[in-house]
Structure 1
Amino acid sequence: MSEPTGKYSITMPRDIAEAAKARSGPSGLSAYVAAAVARQIERDNLNELIGVAEAEHGPISDDEVQALRDQLAEARRAQTQGGASAA
């Protein structure tokens, strides 16, 4: 069962609205905007979590960030190769 919805009026620049409309596809503009807002909320929540973690443990260095990016890229490569060999 899907979540209950509400109708809202928002204001945004016309060029952004038209670009969103053009990209929204069969799900429609409302679903496209809802997904974008949901992603922004996730980012805001993640930034809050990072702030709390950095306050407790100190900031993460650029080298640590790069090492984690490298780990993620390697995991994605392994997943892609694993999926390709299973097919």
Structure 2
Amino acid sequence: MSEPTSKYSITMPRDIAEAAKARSGPSGLSAYVASAVARQVERDNLNELIAVAEAEHGPITDEEIHALRDQMHQARRDQAGQTQGGADAA
């Protein structure tokens, strides 16, 4: 069952509204805008979480960011290799 909805009136620049309407596809403009707002709320929540973590532990250094990105890329390469290896073994 989907979440209950409410009707709202919003104001936005015409060019943005027209671009959103053109990209909204079969789900419609309301679903497109709701999805965009949901992503923004997630980003806002993440930014708040980062601020709390940095206040407690200090800011994340560029070196830490690069190291974590390297780990993530290596994990993706490992996963892709396992997926391809599994297909060959079948």
**Aligned length in residues:** 87
Please give the residue correspondences for 1:1-87 in structure 2 after superposition, counting only pairs within 5 Å.
1-87=1-87
What SS does the aligned partner of 1:12 have?
coil
Q: Which runs of 5+ in 1 are unaligned?
A: none
What is the rounded CA distance, in whole Å, between the counterparts of 1:27 and 1:86 in structure 2?
Answer: 37
What SS does the aligned partner of 1:39 have?
helix
After superposition, the Cα gap between the structure-2 partners of 1:19 and 1:62, relative to the gap in structure 1 and judged at 3 Å, is same
TM-score, length basis structure 1 = 0.88
C-alpha RMSD over aligned residues: 1.5
What is the rounded CA distance, in whole Å, between the counterparts of 2:86 and 2:29 in structure 1?
Answer: 37
TM-score, length basis structure 2 = 0.85
Bigger radius of gyration among the two: 2
Identity %: 78
What is the rounded CA distance, in whole Å, between the counterparts of 1:32 and 1:84 in structure 2?
Answer: 35
